[in-house]
Amino acid sequence: MKLVQEELSDQELVRLEKWKKIQERGIEVFPHRAEKTHSVFEVVRDFLHLSKEELEEKNYQVKVPGRILAIRKMGRATFFHIADFRDRVQVYLREDVVGKENYELFDLFDIGDIILVEGRLFRTRTGELTILAEKFSFLAKSFHPLPEKWHGLQDVELRYRKRYLDLIMNPESGETFRIRSQIVAKIRQFFDERGFIEVETPMMQVIPGGALARPFKTFHNALGIDLYLRIAPELYLKRLVVGGMEKVYEINRNFRNEGVDSQHNPEFTMLEFYQAYIDYNQLMDLTEELFLYLAREIHGKEELQYGDQVISLKRPWKRLKFREAVLQYSGLAPARFDDEKNIIEFASTLTPDKKPLTYGKALDVIFDKLVKEKIVQPTFIINPPKDISPLAKSDRENPSEAARFELIIAGMEIANAFSELTDPFEQRQRFEEQAAMRKTGDEESHLVDLDYVEALEYGLPPTGGEGIGIDRLTMIFANKKSIREVILFPLLKPR
């Protein structure tokens, strides 16, 4: 028998030796199932509130599986803790209860092994809820030593590469992913209650659309065609609104072939939802409701602690025109703001690698570099330039602006929403403008999707649509500064 790791430490050799001894005794190390009465979590949940006397009187018998985390041996008695994903409970093992032979058998168990403990519940002298073991058996042997009990697993790289170790050793990591799970569950509940239908649309697309980003490319052998991993579900979801799904949402992965940093992972999870007959102003109300609902359900309050900031979700949130936001936070004089050439030049100094070519793009760059990071409290940034919003309606009052908002919280763009462009002629023209930009070398311009335009030709009702990044949302709700902390297996280079 060989372990994956070729050079074994003395500790691993010892564990292999123990495993051999166990087998020699004919004891099953990897059984098919465990007859349990409670999980560790359930033991704590159901019995922690009971007094010493109540436990004595009722004599609760339990069979509980768990991973051994810490062993304290004192001659003919041993204490250890077993844990599941959510909790831990102490076990007390006595030679006079299990017998000498069984007691010595426990020497073959190590920290990290998964064990089934059968016994009755009591409280120790210090009051800790404990299982007095009467029987115990292997559920799985662990052949590698676990990280240190006190500091846990600190190495960031190891935590991501071997997330299971992170989850075993660092309870706060498990808590983060429980919050993430709650967020997704509560979002579904929120939209389901409002009559939305949840759908799944293609992850592999012939024309990747719905966002301005570079896609991953792949190939389908049988059809002999190039396919792209989707950068957004947007165009498919709006086809469904054309088809009569007036309230529709999808929670699923998007893929963008871009760099990796504390706010970006190449695959990330997006909520997109569309509701017919409303515009982006009504989406702002809905967004406030959603976030408040999540905060109350998950944290039981309307504020979130994020780093040393407190983010208040109390309504109404600030609504700031894109133009005002740039003026206010960038320090540009209004006269200069309106000087398009000057703005393009100024923005070019901020992104020397990729000079913005249009006024709208230049403003967007200034917003990204100078403005966004300064906005901490939830703020709707309304009416950004039209030419960076090829799928949005124009604003009624100012046609060079889009009927759109971006939601900024803690310096991060959390949501993006607009009144969907429903006019097929204008949509086609916008696509063609994007295609022209692509010809000048802008790889992130939107591709022309005539199949989508044709769908619009059948009639898309007035529709409000919004995308919310689930990973970033989780960062805010779980107080994490890196997106890798809220993705179980973030992309890392192979070792």
Partner RNA sequence: GGCCCGUUAGCUCAAUAGGUAGAGCAGCGGACUCUUAAUCCGCGGGUUGAAGGUUCGAGUCCUUCACGGGUCACCA
Touching RNA, residues 438-477 (CB under 7 A): 444, 469, 471-472
Closest to RNA by CB, 242 vs 322, is 322
175 interacts with RNA by CB under 7 A: no
Q: Which residues on adjacent β-strands are paired with residue 204?
A: 229
Nearest to 240 by CA among 195, 199, 295: 199
- Which residue among 95, 134, 198, 302 contacts RNA (CB under 7 A)? 95
User: Minimum distance between the CB of residue 374 and RNA, rounded to whole angstroms?
Assistant: 12
- Which residue among 57, 104, 148, 200 contacts RNA (CB under 7 A)? 148
The tokens for 479 are: 């107080």
Closest to RNA by CB, 54 vs 155, is 155
CA distances from 194 to 63, 246, 313, 466 (A): 43, 11, 21, 15
Window 280-339: residues binding RNA (CB under 7 A): none
Stretch that binds RNA, among 56-64, 72-80, 305-313, 336-344 (CB under 7 A): 72-80
CA distance 361 to 434: 12
48 interacts with RNA by CB under 7 A: no
- Which residue among 110, 234, 401, 466 contacts RNA (CB under 7 A)? 110
* Dihedrals phi, psi of 492, to nearest 5 degrees: -130, 155
437 interacts with RNA by CB under 7 A: no
Window 219-258: residues binding RNA (CB under 7 A): 256, 258
Q: Are 149 and 69 in contact (CB under 8 A)?
A: yes
Exposed/middle/buried for residue 433 (C-beta within 10 Å: 0-12, 13-18, 19+):
middle
Stretch that binds RNA, among 147-155, 190-198, 282-290, 389-397 (CB under 7 A): 147-155
Query: Mask of contacts with RNA, 16-35, x by CB under 7 A?
Result: --x-----------------
The tokens for 393 are: 């309606």
The count of chain residues that interact with RNA, using the rule CB under 7 A, is 80
481 interacts with RNA by CB under 7 A: yes
Alpha carbon 462 to chain centroid distance? 31
9 interacts with RNA by CB under 7 A: yes
User: Minimum distance between the CB of residue 319 and RNA, rounded to whole angstroms?
Assistant: 18
Cβ neighbours around 140 below 10 Å, total = 15
User: Minimum distance between the CB of residue 314 and RNA, rounded to whole angstroms?
Assistant: 24
Window 193-212: residues binding RNA (CB under 7 A): 211-212
- Which residue among 24, 53, 96, 397 contacts RNA (CB under 7 A)? 96
79 interacts with RNA by CB under 7 A: yes
- Which residue among 29, 87, 90, 293 contacts RNA (CB under 7 A)? 90
CA distance 121 to 106: 20
Residue type for 295, please?
Answer: A
Q: Is the dihedral of CA 376, 491, 209, 269 positive or negative?
A: negative
User: Minimum distance between the CB of residue 266 and RNA, rounded to whole angstroms?
Assistant: 6
Nearest to 306 by CA among 484, 172, 178, 478: 478
Window 338-397: residues binding RNA (CB under 7 A): 350-354, 365, 368-369
- Which residue among 86, 178, 188, 264 contacts RNA (CB under 7 A)? 264
Closest to RNA by CB, 35 vs 157, is 157
CA distance 59 to 62: 10
- Give the long-range contacts of residues 49-57, CB within 8 A, separation 24 or more: 50/121, 51/123, 52/122, 52/123, 52/127, 55/121, 55/122, 55/123, 55/129, 56/122
Q: Are 203 and 251 in contact (CB under 8 A)?
A: no
147 interacts with RNA by CB under 7 A: yes
Closest to RNA by CB, 151 vs 341, is 151
